[in-house]
Structure 1
Amino acid sequence: MTPGSNLPLTAARVAVTVTAPVRLDVSGLLLTAGGKVRSDDDFVFYNQPAGAGVSHGTTPAGDTITVDTAAVPADIDKVVITASLDAPGATFAGTEPTGTVRDADGGAVLAAFTPPQLGAETALVVVEVYRRGGGWKVRAVGQGYADGLAGIATDFGVSVEEPATPAAPAAPPAPPAPQAPPAPVPQDQWAPPAGAPAPLAPPPQAPAPAGPPATGKVNLDKGRVSLQKNQTVSLVKDGRPLLSTVRMGLGWEPARRGRSIDLDASVIAYGPDRGKVDSCYFGKLRILDAAIQHSGDNLTGDGAGDDEVITVHLGGIPPEVTGLVFTVNSFSGQKFSDVAKAYCRLTDAQTGEELVRFDLTGAEPRTGVMMAKLIRQYSGEWEMTALGSFVDARTVRGMVKPAAAAL
């Protein structure tokens, strides 16, 4: 399966196992049509292994969430299966977790999904099992979170309490000998103390490892975001998805004085199977019933500001389009090493406010670059990721396959 794709389930009881080269904690959340749990009882994990029609278990292959669709309450619309990393400070970068869906009774494999291009994420929504037309289906999701299982739980309405601050100890009569620091508690290991009730409260986190911080995922709450390569911004402000019209401006300057360079900005629209739906460029200025529009060709790159602009009506993108990749090509065949100050920026079409900016540095001697991608999440919001990946392609046609691979 690929992100966003779905399949009908041919078994009433399915088992979803998530495996990786590292230790994972796998959980299941029962969600209503509003996308939230009814109560904390709808959060099924190793410390609360049974819910309504959903259970957690451990097999030799790994942690498994079993969904008995006939026993799931009628007011539950979907069961979301998540995975989080057990080791403190670890991310999914370099790992390839795979969710495998099996017939829980016969053992036959019904579907498998490996989320692509993971980085700073510490938790994932892997797949969801959901109702559709009187039956049940499974959808590949692959949405990442940089704040662990607690971030997922909070998003879906689980009450995640902050750990209490311990009281300061009484002063001893004499200076004590230095104490060794307590052993770090594994991230997301939420076992309550003996005899206490079982609130879903994460323990104190281990200190972050030395080195540069992970980029993670940010939103627009604090204003304009300047992205680094491979960093992602969620187009959400004040808790609400941005569903207005935005403009993707792309600009560049010739690196050598007096030498004009003809670059062409384009956007390629893809479906959930990474198949091309359509592309918008200087030769096709409107696509998807004008939900995406191109400003026209700039032959030189001269002048201040955006050289070419692509307007995207986010609310008008048809549901069969789940990903957009913004590309720039050197139609004349000159290399990007001869281009300076290449950038892309996302602005609010109504106010002109700049929301997101990505300044490309370190150009390579190639003729095509994938600047950024917009991915529609299963929750309906859009996320923008800075790419900055170079390829050898002089037209948008040559960008279709590499851009699909970048989704």
Structure 2
Amino acid sequence: MTAMTPGSNIPLSAVRVAVDVTAPVRLDVSGLLLSADGKVRSDDDFIFYNQPSGPGVTYRSGGGTAPDAIVVDTSAVPPGIEKIVVTASPDAAGQSFQGIEPTATVRDADTGSPLATFTPPRLGSETALVVIEVYRRQGAWKARAVGQGYANGLAGIATDFGVTVEEEPAARAAPPARQAPRAHPQPAAVDPRTAPPLPPMPPAPPAAAPAASSGKINLDKGRVSLQKNQTVSLVKGGRPLLSQVKMGLGWEPAFRGKDIDLDASVIAYGPDRKHLDSCYFGKLSILNGAIKHSGDNLTGEGAGDDEVIVVDLGRIPAEASGLVFTVNSFTGQKFTEVAKAYCRLIDAATGEELVRFELSNTEPQTGVMMAKLIRQFSGEWEMTAMGEYVKSRTVRGMVKPASAAL
């Protein structure tokens, strides 16, 4: 059985799989069938307790004593459906995931044998969660750990996947009267157990900007500009990028005439989040030379990247599956004294910039996790923008929080 981390995936060895989600409190579990545009086709594609079956996907109640589950029969999913996302939200109205640690288990639906588990890290004010997605890739079915939270409950998830919802007051004591959310353009009721009063629905995001819940694209259309928590698959022309890349990290002093001394590093982890090694100004080469550091920049002045870390993706040993890129202020300067901090991934052979992520906010901390690269079961790498601040002046203090963020 595989213990998954955010963004990782596994091939499905069973035609019929069940995804159940457990927690110390009762959860409502639902599924949405999504087409190539990442949206539901109609209200029939929303599967939950009050609409328990759809094409190839069914809701299975645990009856309050066992976890609810979404069962996917991949042989019966219509050709136009590319993924099924499995969501969870606390049963109590308005309750968040603060202090609740849900765990999703992907099972063979016929034998009950577990195939993988996933516990999303760092949950807090979220009241709903996209936990797992079961998706089709080149004729094969896989499962990916997601862990994307929403602070506006089921309504936030529904809106993000193309469902227009409005609140309809209903008595909790009469569950048969509750109706499923309906797809655009016909609004209908959403489950009042999980949906707080809704603000006016925001406009749908433009197609060029991937939504935070699905948020993953590849390199086929050229340079990718990421926002926080978005992911890009390092695949171009259908092939994984396995050559040398450079992670360039740069910054400028926020106040003219003042030097800023920051240190860029990369921390390598195994599939169980075990720390393997760290590459930084004091150790310029790790993993038998597969990762190399350019050396320390003491001021941050000047155009271009301040520090560069070269990663030979094809030479990363098999036991290394996650890389977290960090920046620290060894001298104790806070990131509120830093301007224009960014990281960018560059093709080392051509010098072409592939991916860029610019920090849009600063916090009075001395460390930040900029981005992570995670190797998928298929061998491809995925880069996710992070922008998570940590109180640490050295890479040593980043090892534990970076592990938790994988």
Q: Secondary structure at the match of 2:336?
A: helix
2:330 maps to 1:327: no
Which one-letter code corresponds to 2:228 in the other structure? K
* In structure 1, distance between residues paired with 2:106 and 2:131: 19
Partner-residue secondary structure (3-state), 1:306: coil
Cα deviation code 1:211-238 (max 9, x no counterpart): 4622422221211111112221111222
- Alignment partner, residue 99 of structure 1: 104
After TM superposition, the structure 1 = structure 2 runs for residues 5-44 of structure 1, keeping only pairs within 5 Å, are: 16-19=18-21, 21-25=27-31
Q: 1:210 aligns with which of 192, 202, 221?
A: 202
1:108 to 1:344, Cα distance in 2 relative to 1, 3 A = closer
Provide the residue aligned with 2:391 in structure 1: 392
Q: CA contact under 8 A between 2:9 and 2:376: conserved in structure 1?
A: no
Alignment partners' CA distance in 1, 2:275 and 2:286: 13
Show the counterpart of 1:194: none
1:284-303 aligned at under 5 Å gives the runs: 284-303=283-302
Tell me the SS of whatever aligns to 1:226: strand
Q: Measured at CA, do residues 26 and 183 of structure 1 come closer, stay the same or move farther in structure 2, by a change above 3 Å?
A: closer
Per-residue deviation, residues 182-203 of structure 1 (Å, max 9, x unmatched): 74699xxxxxxxxxxxxxxxxx
Q: How does 1:128-139 map to 2 (within 5 A)?
A: none
SS of equivalent to 1:257: coil
Shift of 1:257: 2.4
Structure of larger gyration radius: 1
Residue 46 of structure 2 is matched in structure 1 by none
Report the TM-score when normalising by structure 1: 0.61
Give 3-state SS (helix, strand or coil) of 2:341's partner.
strand
The within-5 A match list for 1:356-395 is 356-395=355-394
- Equivalents in 1 of 2:185, 2:248: separation in Å? 51
Provide the residue aligned with 1:124 in structure 2: 132
Residues 396 and 16 of structure 1, relative CA distance in 2, 3 Å threshold: same
Contact in 2 for aligned 1:113/1:140 (Cα 8 Å): no
1:126-205 alignment runs, 5 A limit: 141-142=144-145, 183=186
Go from structure 1 to structure 2 and tell me whether the alpha carbon gap of 1:345 and 1:278 turns closer, same or farther (over 3 Å shift). same
Corresponding residue of 1:161: none
Structure 2 counterpart SS, 1:401: helix
**Partner Cα distance (1:325, 1:97) in 2:** 24
1:36-55 equivalence runs, <5 A: none
* Higher deviation after alignment, 317-326 or 236-245: 236-245
1:293-321 deviation line (CA, Å, top 9, x unaligned): 10111111122111110001111111211
Whole-Å Cα distance in 2 between the matches of residues 106 and 382 of structure 1? Answer: 32
Relative to the length of structure 2, the TM-score reads: 0.61
CA change 1:236–1:301 in 2 (3 A) is same
CA distance in 2, matches of 1:110, 1:233: 25
- In structure 2, C-alpha distance between the alignment counterparts of 1:371 and 1:23, rounded to whole Å: 32
Show the counterpart of 1:229: 228
Instruction: Give the SS at the match of 1:345.
Output: strand
The aligned amino acid for 2:202 is: A
- Quickly say closer, same or farther: Cα 1:185–1:305, change in 2 above 3 A: same
Q: Which amino acid aligns with 2:145?
A: G
Aligned with 2:221: secondary structure? coil
Asked whether 1:249 is paired with 2:235, we answer no
1:26–1:65 CA contact under 8 A, matched in 2: no
Tell me, what secondary structure is at the counterpart of 2:396? helix
Structure 1 residue identity aligned to 2:30: L
**Does the C-alpha gap of structure 1 residues 346 and 5 become closer, same or farther in structure 2, counting only changes over 3 Å?**
closer
Say whether 1:114 aligns with 2:126: no
- Consecutive unaligned residues of structure 1, counting only runs of 5 or more, are 7-11, 28-44, 50-54, 68-80, 88-93, 128-138, 146-180, 187-207
Q: Deviations along 1:382-402, whole A, 9 cap, x unmatched?
A: 111111111111110011111
Partner of residue 160, structure 2: none
Question: d(CA) in 2 for partners of 1:239 and 1:185?
Answer: 40
2:60 aligned partner: 58
Separation (CA, whole Å) in 2 of partners of 1:271 and 1:326: 15
Task: Give CA deviations for 1:242-297 in whole Å, capped at 9, x if unaligned.
Answer: 11111000011122222212111000011122121111001111111111110111
For 2:204 and 2:186, locate their aligned partners in 1 and report how far apart those are by CA, in whole Å: 23
Number of the residue aligned with 1:351: 350
1-structure distance, mates of 2:282, 2:253: 23
SS in 2 for 1:284: coil
In structure 1, the residue matched to 2:274 is 275
In structure 2, the CA distance between the partners of 1:236 and 1:108, relative to structure 1 (3 Å rule), is closer
Aligned residues of 2:87 and 2:132 also touching (Cα < 8 A): no
Stretch of structure 1 that moved more, 211-220 or 287-296: 211-220
2:105 partner letter = T
Q: 1:82–1:98: structure 2 CA closer, same or farther, 3 Å change rule?
A: farther
Change in 2 beyond 3 A, CA 1:19/1:26:
farther
Percentage of pairs with the same residue: 61
**Per-residue Cα deviation, 1:161-181 (whole angstroms, up to 9, x for no partner):** xxxxxxxxxxxxxxxxxxxx9
Structure 2: gaps of 5 or more residues: 34-51, 74-82, 90-95, 136-141, 149-183, 190-199, 206-210
Alignment deviations for residues 343-398 of structure 1 (CA, whole Å, 9 cap, x no partner)? 11110000000011111132212111111111112222211111111111111001
1:26/1:98 Cα in 2 relative to 1: closer, same or farther (>3 Å)?
A: farther
Q: Which amino acid is the alignment partner of residue 245 of structure 1?
A: Q
Determine helix, strand or coil for the equivalent of 1:400: helix
Whether the aligned pair in 2 keeps the contact of 1:126 and 1:143 (CA below 8 Å) is no
CA contact (8 A) 2:9 2:145 kept: no
Which runs of structure 2 are paired with 1:63-74 in the superposition (5 Å)?
A: 63=69, 65=71
Q: Which amino acid aligns with 1:260?
A: D
Q: Cα RMSD between the aligned structures? A: 4.4
